[in-house]
Chain A
Amino acid sequence: MREMIVNELTQATQELIREFARFLPRLLVMLIVVLVGWMIAYLLKWILRSILRLAKFDKLSEGAGATQLLNKAALPSSTELVSRFAFWIAWLGFVLLGVSALGILGLEEYVTRFFVFLPRLVVALFFLFFGLLAASFFSRAALLWAVNTDMPSPRLLSSAVRIMITIFTASAVFEELGLADSTMLLAFAIVMGAIMLGLAIAFGIGGQHLARRFLESRFAPGKKETKEGEDELSPL
């Protein structure tokens, strides 16, 4: 009886040692992959940060209005944020690669899913950045146009333009990420429909003068600066 127990324990210990011996190289491989991955990710971060600084990405980001958002959230500069993001994505990729080298059943599927999702995440971020850039540019253009043509409520117009482009961008980002596709599509359609209907009613009923002035400035330039009986001043 005692001998049986000793034998079983010995076998179990030997099995454990064998398993550990089989697992150890894989663990080493994983650690090496993670370590090399860290170095590559760090190098990638450094290169990306240099490129973005050379390309004056922070200035572009400031123009897009992204810097203001980051400042409000007490986050670092856009260049730093993008480089850090690239570092973590790259390193996480290597960590998952290393984990898959362990051969643990079930984990491989998640690793594959992550690598399929990665390009979509990058594209979504690309949409987000350029969407914010477009929102900032066109809202400022609308503000300047409204001020220079003496339109009422220039900031309201500018905000409306910014909100519409931001909503459009958000819907494109969510669609790219595959998050709540149908809900987002429906919400987007409802919001856009409501805005357009509201604008149509407001412009048609409440904005006759606005519409007239817009059409006059569009099709009869040169007449807009003066009222009847006044002399026209030419800046040139």
Chain B
Amino acid sequence: MNELKQALRRTLAQPGLSFVMIAMLALGLGATTAMYSIYHEVLERPLPVAEPERLVNFGAPGPKRGFTSCSTAGNCDEIFSYPMFRDLEARQTAFAGIAGHSAFGANLSYRGGAISAQGALVSGGYFSVLGVRPALGRLIGPQDEPRVGESAVAVLDYAYWRDYLGADPGAIGQTLIVNGQALTIVGVAPEGFFGTTWGVHPKVFVPLSLRGLMEPNMPRGEDSRTTYWVYLFARLAPGGSIDQAATAINALYSGILNEVEAALNSDMPPDMLEQFRRRTITLAPGALGQSWMRDISTPLTLLLGVTALVLLIACANIANLLLARGVARSGEMALRASLGASRARLVGQLLLEATVVAALGGLATLPVAALTQRAILALAPDQIATQITVDFSGRAMLFAGTAALATVLLFGLFPALQATRATLGTVIKGQAAQSVGGRGAARFRTTLATVQIALSTVLLVLAGLFAHSLVNIASVDLGMGVDSVVSFSVAPRQNGYTQERTTETFDRIESELAAVPGVTSVTSSSVALLANNFCGIGLNVEGFDAPAGADTSSSCSWVSPGFLRTLSVPLLTGREFTAADGPGAPQVAIVNQAFVRKFGLGDAPLGKHFGMGDAKTAERNIEIVGIAADAKYNTVKGEIPPLFLLPRRQESRIGQLSIYVRGAVEPQALLAAIPRVVASVDPTLPVQELTTMRKTVESSVFLDRLVAILSAAFATLATVLAAIGLYGVLAYNVAQRTREIGIKLALGATPQHVRATVVKQVASMAAIGMTAGLIVSIAVGRGAGSLLYGLSGYDPAALVGAVAALAAVVAAAAYLPARRVAGVAPMEALRYE
């Protein structure tokens, strides 16, 4: 206790030094803690359910024909048909239970208040398989799935119940309108439970068997074995292993495939049918739930590594400061030894003092980490940002505390051992500082500074690579003009409207918007542009002789007249759609250049016909009336796919549209006007995803932007810390050598000569550090190649830029010590001890 009191007193006695060490630790560790917290949240945090490690996710890779509807929960290899799910659920014995789920867009209305949100269709076993208990009422169970479409119940998300229903216990038994259907609220899910799909926060859970009512626009899939839309997971039976479960479920699955489903796919080419018959269910650990959005482990790991390097540089500075302090206190340590202290006790005392710094640094880390995390999340799209809770109460605090203690103790040990090396003899002679501040310590300090230069080189090269990649992305030709365009979506069908009313609502919104002053054109599409949405259909194209098994699919979208004009996509030949391309008119299409190339339409594609469906037999009833220039479709970075556009008025099943408004006024004015216009058409219709197209483009590449901005920010921080470290080493060395320098000056050396000694030292440290850093950078750059766009991991511009930037920083750090050394007054220096 006495030692602790003295350690605290010592820390307070040197407030400047303590502040610098605590600040360095807080900066380095704050960045690392923030990144670790996000890393943990995205890649490590299990679902808040009972024994999450016993959960497994289902996959079924291999060929499948028919309609697929994939979502955030996973890719299209992980979805099953509803009948297959029910067969597996009913007949399996390897699991404690299997559950199915699917996401849907939900318009929720409770006592007049309407919001647009996400919902989850869940099977009767969903909550029991997870082992989740309700916060209020009951959860959906097998009793809620008597027959398809006959279980009008809903379970509320806790946050929705709290924020929109005022946490009213009386809500149980009340009616909630979900996509126009009246459902009875039977319970509230527990707080903190956001479903099983990371990145999706459903506000309501409804029985899976209600899918036809919740998503009336989607193909009815409850009876179809070739309509795939259900994601599955299961809980292993007590004592059962994942391998045993895989063997058992695949015996069942193979039987259903071969005895029931193979016959439904008899028109498949033989080799594909054989693959279909041999498909198996893959089981993957399911503790984290299901989500393709978690597939960002590479950039997250990289950024965590970057922050770890920043921390390492900060720790090197702390070690240098501790060493300098240790040298200054070596006499005291020798004295304490003469008073009976063992070396272990002295080292322990110094480490205790370092621990006090670590504890204060750890405390200071938390606000820095919180601010850093907030800044990072501000760069992420809302759907990801809202999924990550800024929580520094538990694991993050433990991480910060442990890391602070470990780093300070690790980096404090050598200085402590150095400081306790002086013997009483040297104290008596007043030479303790020289004794422990000798060559070994000097080498240690120089090595640390050189390592800092090397690490900074690596970080600057990485930052340069990602910045260059971002520049490449920014200069991608989208093939369309997104500036001055605002977009949003509406889904009248989710309000339970008929198709006629839905179409009428679309038409009225478009015409009302076109009348708004400053609006120059309005259009719409069934597939939202650059938003990772996708529509793909197999085609039978005139003149294209598809070999067996060939890919005959093309991307598609149903659009309003003026689509190309509004989005500034050049029409190369033919015509745009007009109001005349409506129901009953001949079916027409506009295709892009990639479509023309893929299907070999040559120089005269206009007037040719194609049909949707089987590549050989589908009726070719759609005439190509226009050719559009290639433009990006679903992503900014992805290749431009073959695309055909159809008039939306010729498709009667569209329940949701993305609407684009081009204006001659500021986008902000359009953003403000749109909700008013939509409300004037239908006050109960929520406006969804209202944003500028520029923002949509940015969201599409948010990960690239995030990595580039963060790596640049962390590299800057690291370089500043390294510069401080380098300055410290040089300044200390100059101070240590003042007497020697004075003698040299007294003997006739010129200021240039003594300055050269500093410059030489800096140059050798920089040369070694940068060379090592460049070698490591090239290797790290190659590892990060998959995250770069339009360049490889070896980028001479990034390497040269990093060296130039660091050389400037090193020169700046060396300037003051070099100037000081040349300005030493010989007589003053000779008095220096």
Whether A and B are associated in the same complex: the answer reads no
Interface residues of B (CB under 8 A from A): none
